[in-house]
Amino acid sequence: MILILAAIALVIMAGLIYMITSGTQISGMQKRYKTALDAGFGGTDVTFQLIAARGDPFDSATATLLNYHRSLSDACLADKLNKNTADWTGCDSSMTVGPASHDMYFDLGTIGYPTYRVYSKIVDTVEGNSGGDEGLIGKGVVASGSGEVTVVSRPYLYTIEVDAENLSNPAERAKLSVLYQY
């Protein structure tokens, strides 16, 4: 009887130790993923700056600090920023982003902490609700009045794929898909 009770107690203790160990492992994985996800969010902000500056937002000191590299030509970047995806000439519009396929990459982090390489790629551009010709703004058949609603201009919608990975551990990564209007 004592042997049976000891065996049951041993199984219960083994189960508790297994649950504690697996809980610790899952907590560590979540922490590493959250850090990679935060690096991905930082990478999207840098990509937004690139789009807002229409291609080259960094001075040489900032580009060196971020280890910023652009892998697409000036003509391709201009196409991705100013034309619909169907009108791009020779630009990659596949949804895959990473070390083999990206428009730009940069490093985030400091010495002593994990450094993340963030790959970013514009995969789709759609002209928004306003085009290049805005000749009727402020004019038309209706006189201005208190009931007139002005449409907010959204010239372009960009679909951006972002992949952030730890340089010392490429398995520690996060991928983001972003729809950005500018």
> How does pLDDT run across 48-103, given as a tens digit for each residue?
888 888 767 677 777 777 778 888 888 888 888 888 888 888 888 888 888 888 99
In this predicted structure, what is the pLDDT of residue 41?
93
> Structure tokens of 58?
């960094």
Going from N- to C-terminal start, the domains of the chain cover: 2-138+150-181
Q: Model's pTM, two decimal places?
A: 0.73
Dihedral angle, C-alpha 84, 89, 95, 101, nearest 10 °: -140
Interval 121-143: pLDDT, tens: 999 999 877 655 555 555 555 55
CB-based burial label for 66 (10 Å; 0-12, 13-18, 19+) = middle
**Angle at Cα 55 formed by Cα 131 and Cα 123, nearest 5°?**
70
**Structure-derived torsion over alpha carbons of residues 32, 113, 160, 150, reported in degrees to the nearest 10:** 100
